[in-house]
Amino acid sequence: MPTESASDVDGYIATAPAAARPLLKELREAIRAAAPGAEEGISYGMPYYHLNGVRLTYFQAHTRHVGLYAFNGDDARAVGLEQRMGAKSTLHFPLDQPLPVPEIRRLIERRVSMIAAQGGAKAQRNR
């Protein structure tokens, strides 16, 4: 929950609470490593990643956790993150715990594979 409206991901992370910044940086790095061709930007006041015209993921800092959107329970279970599922297709990562980077990378790689298999923008219409 950065206090200022950021125009890019660097600005978003810079204005996030100090306790969230390391996790946000690590999360960004994991997403970029798993989806190197993804477009990065700010939408709805939070960082987003799109690939071939399809939503890949968003993330946001909160008071006690970092949220990663939008994944369902099947996605989370497939990579061992079901215990991190919160409401409304959100994964929650507490600020006082290490980020499960390998699982997050597998989650993003899974979404990248799904997008590729469904043909890019067509996948968004069918989701």
Query: Class assignment of domain 9-126?
Result: alpha beta
Sign of the Cα pseudo-torsion (118, 123, 125, 127, in order): positive
pLDDT at residue 81 tops 90: no
| pTM, full prediction | 0.85
23-54 confidence digits (pLDDT tens): 999 999 999 999 999 999 999 899 999 998 89
Q: Name residues whose C-beta falls within 8 Å of residue 82's C-beta, 6 or more positions apart in sequence.
A: 73, 76
Domain edges within the chain: 9-126
- Full DSSP string of 35-82: -TT-EEEEETTEEEEEETTEEEEEEEE-SSEEEEE---HHHHHHTT-G
